[in-house]
């Protein structure tokens, strides 16, 4: 088959795979408790009030996020209605576009179909896709796409300087998606320009127009906010979102120095075990070949990881913009594995990744999962758990090196390629197999939409709530606070409940306070009819 047809079929397959992955049963699960429910409520209030410039949550000014994500969501929800699918539509779309852009960049830069597929499958094999990302209704999926797109546009501008106009626009849209995160791509690009002296590739006119495009993309909204909200806008948007997030622990838990490393391993297993060797290999290739693209990728990974590590507030989804670039770095390295012309240290990097993977494997796979059959340690005698895991890891790496030595000595390339194929099938089988299990999970409280349906069906005009602090229960606000024919009323004490009324109670410490007929119940809530 001609290469052009292979390329066309590959990109069609990538698009279909990504579309199926990100959109399959997208609206099945109810909204997540925190940001997803908050963002849905902000959009709902924007649509019902008709005010798209002054965002509110629970009818109070909302300053925590810029408006672009809400505008996009409002456009879709306004056309086809509000539901879990439309709330998540733009995140899933960002996932598909990110996958296609990874494939495009891998092909344009590397010109190897295996690198394209390894990059795409690597990206799609990460569990991070499900957490505050491309299958939920927050801002971070769009942020990851805009960040990757900004880096790609900068790379394109090396040959066509006018691409920096588009780059400026995308950086502006990134700023309108999440203020502080706009710095990730911007800082990496700035450092690359300084280190490589690529400033000279662009004329003064290029820079002037780019600055104008960037300012025009953000200035109208910023000016309107300054007029309407004045000092509150500066304090809440910039001080809270940038300064406090960087200097204050907003999430209330102590994150040790290895916090992001463990998150990375957990969310991107098993390919995360090979990330450090892939980065070292890319650094060597970049230095040897004077490859500016590899240099850009590495600058982005190092600077973004440093910013996140130094940030006082830490959480797992902050790593999301890193994964597409890591997928590209891994795809490039994995596509080089079948070659028999390797230096000793290149082999050692592969062996290092295999050893770490084999060591972490037993602890990363649920013993009840069908993936346990892919864990060789489950078939071996259980001796000295940790030393045993290291012995197995060293044995696997040694076996891999021995196969390479035999294949090279006897010019038996197919032996080495068969070993590589088995290892890659193992890795991607574990990663993508885990994704199937993730797609089937029920991730959030299902009781609240069921209560909403009950209220509508029975024409309930009043719903009391007890032990519920609404700012900490945004899903309650979204699912139950927007009903036109029923009101949410706080209940100060259990004895205050009227006969025949309905009370929604938050169950604390597994103790139920409100007595009556249980209508519905979950581990977190109970709906009680007072008799």
N-term to C-term CA, the chain: 75
Pull the structure tokens for residue 260.
């992001």
Size (the chain), residues: 531
Q: At what angle do helices 322-334 and 275-289 cross, to 10 degrees?
A: 70
Angle at 262 between CA 260 and CA 263, to 5 degrees: 60
Number of continuous H segments (helices) and E segments (strands) in the chain? 20, 7
Q: Which pLDDT value is given to residue 319?
A: 95
Full DSSP string of 219-286: HHHHHHHHHHHTHHHIIIIIIIIIIIHHHS-SS-S---TTHHHHHHHHHSTTGGGGHHHHHHHHHHHH
Peptide bond into 270 cis (omega under 30): yes
The CA distance from 172 to 213, in Å, is 8
- Which H helix or E strand runs over 192? helix 183-196
Q: Which residue has the tokens 């959009």?
A: 43
Angle at 70 between CA 65 and CA 72, to 5 degrees: 135
CB count in 10 Å sphere of residue 31: 26
SS3 content of the chain, % helix, strand, coil (to 5): 65, 5, 25
Distance of CA 479 to the CA centre of its chain: 25
Q: Which pLDDT value is given to residue 33?
A: 85
Q: Which pLDDT value is given to residue 463?
A: 94
Q: Which pLDDT value is given to residue 383?
A: 54
Q: Which pLDDT value is given to residue 475?
A: 95
The CA distance from 447 to 265, in Å, is 33
Alpha-carbon dihedral angle through residues 346, 349, 354, 357, given to the nearest 10 degrees? -150
Q: Which pLDDT value is given to residue 496?
A: 83
CB count in 10 Å sphere of residue 252: 6
- Would you put residue 379 in left (φ > 0), alpha (ψ -120 to 50) or beta? alpha
Q: At what angle do helices 35-49 and 68-80 cross, to 10 degrees?
A: 70
Angle at 462 between CA 486 and CA 484, to 5 degrees: 10
The CA distance from 228 to 363, in Å, is 54
Task: Return the exposure string of 222-232: e unless at least 16 CB atoms fall within 10 Å of the residue's CB, then b.
Answer: beebeeebeee
Q: Which pLDDT value is given to residue 35?
A: 92
Q: Which pLDDT value is given to residue 99?
A: 98
The CA distance from 128 to 305, in Å, is 16
Q: Which pLDDT value is given to residue 392?
A: 83
pLDDT string in tens for the chain (531-residue length): 677 788 899 999 999 999 999 999 999 999 998 899 999 999 999 999 999 999 999 999 998 889 999 999 999 999 999 999 999 999 999 999 999 999 999 999 999 999 999 999 999 999 999 988 999 999 999 999 999 999 999 999 999 999 999 999 999 999 999 887 888 999 999 999 999 999 989 999 999 999 999 999 999 999 999 998 888 888 777 776 677 777 777 777 777 788 999 999 999 999 999 999 999 999 999 999 999 999 999 999 999 999 999 888 888 899 999 999 999 999 999 999 998 887 899 999 999 999 999 999 988 988 788 888 888 877 776 655 666 678 888 888 999 999 999 999 888 999 999 999 999 999 999 999 999 888 887 667 789 999 999 999 999 999 999 999 999 999 999 999 998 888 999 998 888 888 889 999 999 988 999 988 999 999 999 999 998
Pull the structure tokens for residue 275.
């990330």
Contact 145, 123 (CB under 8 A): no
Output Rg (C-alpha) for the chain, integer angstroms: 26
The CA distance from 236 to 239, in Å, is 6
Q: Which pLDDT value is given to residue 202?
A: 95
């Amino acid at each position: 088959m001609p290469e052009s047809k292979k390329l066309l079929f590959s990109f069609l397959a990538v698009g279909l795979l990504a579309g199926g992955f990100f959109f399959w049963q997208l609206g099945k699960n109810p909204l997540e408790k925190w940001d997803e429910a908050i963002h849905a409520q902000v959009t709902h209030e924007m649509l019902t009030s008709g005010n798209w410039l002054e965002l509110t949550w629970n009818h109070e000014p909302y300053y925590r996020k810029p408006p672009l994500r809400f505008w996009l969501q409002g456009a879709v929800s306004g056309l086809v209605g509000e539901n879990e699918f439309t709330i998540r539509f733009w995140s899933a779309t960002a996932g598909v576009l990110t996958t296609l852009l990874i494939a495009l960049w891998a092909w344009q830069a590397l010109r190897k179909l295996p690198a394209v597929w390894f990059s795409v499958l690597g990206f799609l094999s990460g569990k991070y896709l499900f957490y505050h990302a491309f299958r939920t209704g927050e801002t971070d999926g769009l942020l990851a796409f805009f960040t990757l797109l900004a880096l790609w546009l900068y790379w394109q501008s090396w040959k066509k300087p006018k691409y920096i106009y588009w780059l400026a626009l995308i950086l502006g849209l990134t700023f309108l998606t999440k203020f502080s995160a706009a710095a990730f791509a911007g800082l990496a690009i700035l450092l690359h320009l300084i280190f490589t002296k690529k400033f000279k590739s662009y004329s003064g006119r290029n820079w002037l127009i780019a600055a104008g495009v960037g300012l025009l993309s953000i200035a109208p909204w910023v000016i309107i906010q300054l007029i309407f909200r004045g000092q509150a806008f500066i304090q809440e948007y910039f001080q809270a979102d940038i300064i406090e997030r960087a200097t204050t622990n907003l999430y209330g838990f102590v994150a040790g120095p290895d916090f992001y490393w463990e998150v990375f391993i957990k969310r991107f297993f098993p390919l995360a075990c090979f990330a450090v060797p892939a980065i070292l290999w890319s650094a060597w290739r970049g230095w040897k070949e004077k490859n500016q693209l590899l240099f850009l990728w590495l600058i982005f990974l190092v600077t973004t990881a440093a910013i996140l590590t130094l940030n006082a507030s830490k959480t797992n989804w902050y790593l999301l913009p890193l994964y597409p670039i890591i997928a590209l770095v891994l795809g490039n390295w994995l596509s080089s594995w079948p070659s028999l012309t390797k230096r000793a240290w290149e082999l050692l990097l592969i062996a290092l990744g295999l050893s770490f993977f084999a060591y972490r494997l037993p602890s990363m796979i649920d013993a009840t999962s069908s993936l346990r059959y892919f864990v060789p340690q489950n078939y071996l005698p259980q001796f000295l758990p940790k030393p045993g895991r290291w012995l197995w890891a060293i044995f696997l790496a040694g076996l891999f090196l021995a196969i390479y030595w035999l294949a090279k000595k006897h010019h038996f390339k197919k032996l080495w390629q068969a070993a590589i194929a088995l290892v890659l099938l193992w890795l991607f089988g574990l990663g993508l197999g885990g994704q199937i299990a993730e797609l089937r999970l029920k991730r959030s409280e299902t009781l609240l939409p069921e209560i909403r349906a009950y209220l509508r069906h029975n024409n309930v005009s009043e719903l009391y709530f007890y032990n519920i602090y609404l700012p900490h229960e945004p899903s309650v606000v979204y699912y139950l606070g927007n009903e036109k024919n029923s009101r949410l009323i706080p209940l100060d004490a259990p004895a205050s409940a009227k006969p025949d009324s309905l009370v929604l109670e938050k169950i604390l410490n597994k103790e139920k306070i409100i007595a009556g007929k249980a209508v519905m119940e979950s581990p977190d809530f109970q709906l009680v009819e007072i008799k």
